Amino acid sequence: MRNTAPEFNATLPAVNEMTAWNSVLNRDSAADDDLFYGVTTTRIYCRPSCPSRRPKRENITFFSSTEAAERAGFRACKRCTPDRPKSPSVAIQRARDYIDEHAGDLDERITLSLLSEHAGLSPYHLQRKFKQTVGLTPAQYIRARKSEKLKTELRKGETVSRASFGAGYGSSSRAYEDAATRLGMTPATYKRGGAGSQIDYVMTKTSLGTLLVGATERGVCFVTLGDTQRDVEDALESEYPAAARRRIGSAEGELHAWVQAVVVAVEGDRTPTEVPIDVQASAFRWKVWRELQKIPLGETRSYTEVAAAIGSPRAVRAVASACANNRVALLIPCHRVIRQSGDLGGYRWGLDRKKRLLEKERAAE
């Protein structure tokens, strides 16, 4: 019979085995670079933060390096891969995969503690690394995934109640609360493709072409520039195909003030303020857009600088995507974001307009 008693480990003369065992019990990721444990019954060695089930204490022996573990006849665990450089992105991907798989489960509440166990990171490190990598906290990412699932279920033709429960909401009322900030409309309205929502719009001539500003009763939902009135009306119809769209010849009241604010922005005089916006967007995109609104008139930032400013330095592509999907440009000045090299990059209304916008703003400083 094989002797399964723990082996004396001369490679750890300065480590208290009780301390090492506590690190394993607590899945202490801070000890991952200096401590490894081998399971004598399986001949597999792991990092302390490994998400696998904890073996019995009497079946564990400790090592200070992967080389020592392998010399003793142990092979690397396939879950925590201790023989490879530790990468937070791997742990974060495990957490994301778990959320993607279970976000719609009503029977399971996804807690930070549960995610940290599956990721192999402490709750503190998971929260920090997840936000750095994804651009959202785990809780925000869970809400975003539920919202996306809700949209998918509604598009399939499910009732609001069934779609809400299928997306992991405990009730339809919770889905309606979340939709207020994520769908830009109620789930029932979204299910009808926007039918029932009213968009009033105004067109006017500017130095950069024909401007169209569309708004709901809650605020501006669409801004576009084009060469002709047909161009900008087609763009509005493409964005809101099922909404009731009404052209206003001479805007009054709030709509007039909102249109004038956008016209001022087109001419580069100042950045619009106090204009309400009613658009569909994730928490991450709103985070990017709010950062764009902080860029002073006449100045620019690179996509990399914006990503760093919102605390997500690796999310450069996601920042670029948020800029590309900005449906209220000028109110959210994505034209002030350029490439790291200094090149203008892309712009939904053409690089010539982007260049002229920046020139106007610099001249107005």
Q: Which of 46, 80, 221, 323 is catalytic?
A: 46
User: Which three-class secondary structure state does DSSP give residue 97?
Assistant: helix
Interatomic CA distance for residues 161 and 187, integer angstroms: 10
- The reply to whether 46 belongs to the active site is yes
With a CB cutoff of 8 Å and minimum separation 6, the contacts of 283 are 136, 140, 143, 144, 182
Give the distance from CA 277 to its chain's centroid: 20
Q: Which of 50, 77, 80, 334 is catalytic?
A: 334
Interatomic CA distance for residues 308 and 85, integer angstroms: 25
- The reply to whether 323 belongs to the active site is no
Do 175 and 224 contact (CB within 8 A), yes or no? no
With a CB cutoff of 8 Å and minimum separation 6, the contacts of 267 are 206, 207, 360
Q: Give the dihedral sign, CA 24/27/29/30.
A: negative
In angstroms, the first-to-last Cα distance of the chain is: 84
With a CB cutoff of 8 Å and minimum separation 6, the contacts of 17 are 62
With a CB cutoff of 8 Å and minimum separation 6, the contacts of 210 are 203, 204, 225, 226, 227, 228, 229, 231, 232
Return the active site residues: 46, 334
